[in-house]
């Protein structure tokens, strides 16, 4: 069996690229040690956005705008993205990148603490990309669920924390233990919430894909009712 790195390298080798601007942004981000979405996760994210075709996307954690631009490339033509970032230097750079891509009218960057910004937003959103401070995922979740429409998708990145999530808290560095505990609680909540159906996948540094349940008639029941009606 091939190891995980070889599998990831092969998957990435198949990618066709996302255009010169996005490639330049990614190269510069890596050079400056700015955390951006991993290539294999980026492909998965774009596929999920393409599948959902949301009218509104919420992103928590803009960084330099790379992932927002990747989503914008595959979202419906009349869709919009609202993205949140709290680090001023990255806010300026992300806005510059959105302008360079001609997306400044379709991507709205809101600067500030995510908890405060979320409290001011109105839903519904059809897709949420959770990629901010990992220790805050759990605290943001209740408000995020309120903002999601029925059938909306929540895509949570970096949930494996570079493998720390599989370790006991005593095997993790002391300064990382609080985040470790919160992420474990977050994943437990995603899997046990009656409001969500969640799969946790070993893509990149771990991805949790959750769909918000609704009070709708299951498809097989609708099909049966149609048959009974003749």
Tens digits of residue pLDDT in 53-77: 999 999 999 999 999 999 999 999 9
| Cβ count within 10 A of residue 50 | 13
The Cα 152–Cα 57 span in angstroms is 10
User: Rounded distance, CA 171 to CA 83, Å?
Assistant: 35
Neighbour-count burial of 59, counting CB atoms closer than 10 A to its CB (0-12 exposed, 13-18 middle, 19+ buried): buried
For residue 18, give the nearest of 84, 59, 65 by alpha carbon: 65
Asked if residues 97 and 64 have their Cβ atoms less than 8 Å apart, the reply is yes
* Intra-chain end-to-end CA distance of the chain, in Å: 52
Distance CA 140, CA 130 (A): 9
Taking the C-alpha atoms of residue 29 and residue 167, their distance in angstroms, rounded to an integer, is 29
Low-confidence ranges of the chain (pLDDT < 70): 1-2, 161-180, 215-230
Task: List CB contacts of 65: < 8 A, sequence separation 6 or more.
Answer: 25, 83, 93, 94, 95, 97, 98, 107, 109
pLDDT of residue 175: 58
Residue 18 DSSP SS3: coil
We report the CATH number of the domain holding residue 171 as: 3.40.50.150
Tally of domains within the chain: 1
**Domain around 47:** 4-229
Please tell me the predicted confidence (pLDDT) of residue 218: 47
């Amino acid at each position: 069996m091939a190891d995980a790195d070889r599998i990831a390298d092969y998957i990435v080798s198949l990618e066709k690229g996302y255009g010169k601007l996005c490639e330049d942004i990614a190269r510069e981000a890596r050079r400056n040690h700015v955390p951006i979405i991993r290539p294999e996760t980026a492909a998965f994210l774009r596929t999920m956005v393409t599948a959902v075709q949301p009218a509104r996307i919420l992103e928590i954690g803009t960084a330099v705008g790379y992932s927002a631009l990747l989503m914008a490339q595959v979202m419906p033509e009349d869709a919009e993205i609202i993205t949140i970032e709290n680090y001023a230097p990255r806010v300026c750079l992300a806005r510059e990148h959105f302008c360079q891509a001609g997306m400044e009218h379709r991507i709205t960057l809101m600067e500030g603490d995510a908890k405060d910004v979320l409290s001011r937003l109105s839903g519904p959103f059809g897709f949420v990309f959770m990629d901010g401070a990992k220790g805050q995922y759990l605290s943001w979740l209740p408000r995020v669920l309120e903002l999601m429409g029925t059938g909306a998708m929540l895509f949570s990145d970096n949930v494996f924390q570079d493998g720390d999530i599989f370790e006991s808290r005593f095997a993790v560095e002391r300064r990382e233990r609080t985040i470790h505990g919160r992420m474990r609680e977050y994943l437990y909540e995603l899997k046990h919430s009656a409001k969500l159906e969640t799969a946790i996948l070993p893509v990149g540094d771990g991805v949790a894909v959750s769909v918000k349940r609704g009070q709708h008639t299951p498809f097989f029941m609708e099909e049966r009712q149609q048959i009974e009606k003749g």
